[in-house]
């Protein structure tokens, strides 16, 4: 147990949650706020389907709406079924990740941070879907005429979080083989 001036310090913070849970909750909230604030700026200053060149030949800020999933898959205007399916799947995946984290016996920073990044990203994109009916994408990376599909901070958080969880699983698997 950590100590504070020679006395044992409880590993619990506000509302009886472990300090690591606070880190996870605040990381997810931070990603959500950063994502929504960045999208608000884009919507306020860039017209829909227009952009601003930031680094010529490499990086633009654009204002795109995506009703589908990553890379514009299922981006069909007027079809409500994919909207509801994508939103429901996102919420179920988020709930499963939280339950998986809470039920895991071996929790570490990779597991917690990966989970929080994904949860914050899911919350950002689901909020867009519920608020405006599509996800607001604005980061446009490209080289020459090759453009990576536009994305946002929530998408980046989900991708990084997924990589952290994959790394966590690899490390856990290897530690089981060593033991």
* 70-124 residue pLDDT tens: 766 667 666 666 788 889 999 999 999 999 998 988 778 899 999 999 999 999 9
How much is the pLDDT for 4? 53
How much is the pLDDT for 65? 94
Q: How far apart are CA 174 and CA 5, in angstroms?
A: 38
What is the 8-class DSSP label of residue 150? P
> How many residues belong to the chain?
179
Please state, rounded to an integer, the average pLDDT across all residues of the chain.
Answer: 87
How large is the angle between the packed helices 153-178 and 19-45, nearest 10 degrees? 150
> Residue 101's closest CA among 117, 120, 115, 89?
115
Write the Ramachandran bin of 6: left for phi over 0, alpha for psi from -120 to 50, otherwise beta: left
Query: What are the DSSP E strand ranges found in the chain?
Result: 3-4, 7-8, 51-55, 59-66, 135-143, 146-147
How much is the pLDDT for 81? 65
Q: Is the predicted pLDDT of residue 14 greater than 60, yes or no?
A: no
Q: How far apart are CA 21 and CA 12, in angstroms?
A: 9
Phi, psi torsion values for 107, nearest 5 degrees: -105, 140
Both structure tokens of 121: 């990203």
CA distances from residue 161 to 10, 27, 75 in whole angstroms, order as listed: 29, 11, 24
- The catalytic residue positions are 137, 155
How much is the pLDDT for 164? 97
Phi, psi torsion values for 49, nearest 5 degrees: 65, 25
How much is the pLDDT for 21? 78
């Amino acid at each position: 147990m950590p100590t504070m001036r020679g006395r044992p310090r409880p590993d619990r913070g506000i509302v009886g949650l472990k300090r690591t849970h606070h880190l996870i909750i605040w990381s997810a909230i931070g990603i959500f706020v950063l994502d929504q604030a960045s999208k608000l700026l884009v919507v306020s200053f860039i017209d829909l389907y227009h952009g601003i060149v930031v680094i010529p030949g490499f990086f633009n800020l654009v204002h795109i709406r995506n009703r589908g999933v990553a890379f514009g898959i299922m981006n069909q205007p007027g079809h409500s079924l994919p909207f509801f399916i994508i939103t429901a799947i996102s919420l179920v995946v988020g709930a499963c990740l939280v339950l998986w984290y809470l039920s895991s016996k071996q929790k570490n920073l990779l597991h917690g941070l990966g989970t929080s990044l994904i949860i914050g990203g899911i919350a950002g994109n689901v909020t867009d879907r519920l608020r405006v009916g599509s996800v607001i994408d604005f980061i446009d990376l490209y080289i020459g005429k090759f453009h990576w599909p536009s994305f946002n901070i929530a998408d980046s958080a989900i991708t990084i979080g997924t990589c952290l969880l994959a790394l966590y699983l690899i490390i856990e698997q290897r530690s089981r083989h060593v033991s």
